[in-house]
C-alpha cells in the first residue's frame, strides 16, 4: 500500500473541493492510504473523505501539531482572529473528535510542541512527508506553508502533484 500525503490551503471553494474528492477519492478506491494534517480546508476535506469511506489506522493518519484538545482550542482561537472561518473551525474540531472517538490510532498528536505556531505546523508537515510515498498539494496563491511541504516532498524524491489555484 502507498501513502498519499494530502496538503493545502485552509479554505476551499467548490472547485477545490471537487478536485480533492476526485483525486483523493480515486486513491482511496485504489486501496491507498491517506495522511494529512488536521487543519481546516484541504486537510479537513481529505480527512472527511477517508472517514466517510470507513478507513481506520491501517490506511488513514492525521498528524496534529500539538495534542488534540490544545489544537481544538487553537482552531477556535484562529477563527476568532480571522485566520480561518468559524464554521470551518467548528466542523474540523467535530471531525477530529469523531475520528479520535471512532477510529483509534488515526490521530497522531504526540509532539514536542505545546503551542500552535509556524514551527509546530512545519514539524507536522514534515511528519506527513516522512510517511508519504507521494504527495498531492492543493495550493492557493502560492501559499508558503503548502510550498514548504511541496519542497520537502521533492527533496525526499517522492512524486508530487500540485493543483494551483488563484483566489482573490
Give the CA distances from residue 89 to residues 62, 105, 120, in Å, rounded to whole numbers and listed in that order.
Answer: 16, 22, 18
Q: Is the dihedral of CA 95, 16, 46, 7 positive or negative?
A: negative
Q: Which residue has the cell 505556531?
A: 117
Whether 113 is in a domain gets the answer yes
pLDDT for the residue 110: 80
- Please check whether residue 144 is in contact with residue 168, taking contact to mean a CB–CB distance below 8 angstroms: no
Whole-prediction pTM value?
Answer: 0.96
What is the length of the chain? 168
Whether 75 is in a domain gets the answer yes
Whether 78 is in a domain gets the answer yes
Whether 143 is in a domain gets the answer yes
pLDDT for the residue 68: 97
Range of the domain at 95: 3-10+36-165
Sheet with 134-140, edge to edge strand ranges: 107-108, 60-63, 33-37, 3-8, 134-140, 160-165
Whether 22 is in a domain gets the answer no
pLDDT in tens, the chain (168 residues): 999 999 999 989 999 999 999 999 999 999 999 999 999 999 999 999 999 999 999 999 999 999 999 999 999 999 999 999 999 999 999 999 999 999 999 999 988 999 999 999 999 999 999 999 999 999 999 999 999 999 999 999 999 999 999 987
Whether 27 is in a domain gets the answer no
Whether 31 is in a domain gets the answer no
Whether 17 is in a domain gets the answer no
DSSP state of 159: -
Which CATH number goes with the domain that contains 111?
A: 3.40.50.450
What's the domain count of the chain?
Answer: 1
Amino acid at each position: 500500500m502507498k501513502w498519499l500525503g494530502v496538503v493545502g490551503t485552509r479554505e476551499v471553494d467548490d472547485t477545490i473541493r471537487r478536485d480533492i474528492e476526485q483525486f483523493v477519492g480515486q486513491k482511496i478506491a485504489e486501496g491507498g492510504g491517506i495522511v494529512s494534517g488536521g487543519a481546516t480546508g484541504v486537510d479537513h476535506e481529505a480527512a472527511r473523505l477517508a472517514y466517510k469511506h470507513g478507513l481506520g489506522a491501517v490506511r488513514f493518519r492525521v498528524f496534529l501539531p500539538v495534542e488534540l484538545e490544545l489544537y481544538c482550542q487553537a482552531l477556535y482561537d484562529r477563527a476568532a482572529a480571522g485566520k480561518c472561518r468559524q464554521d470551518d473551525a467548528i466542523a474540523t474540531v467535530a471531525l477530529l473528535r469523531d475520528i479520535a472517538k471512532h477510529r483509534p490510532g488515526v490521530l497522531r498528536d504526540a509532539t514536542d510542541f505545546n503551542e500552535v505556531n509556524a514551527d509546530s505546523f512545519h514539524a507536522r508537515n514534515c511528519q506527513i512527508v516522512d510517511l508519504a510515498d507521494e504527495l498531492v498539494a492543493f495550493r492557493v496563491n502560492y501559499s508558503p506553508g503548502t510550498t514548504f511541504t511541496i519542497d520537502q516532498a521533492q527533496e525526499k524524491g517522492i512524486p508530487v502533484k500540485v493543483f494551483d489555484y488563484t483566489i482573490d
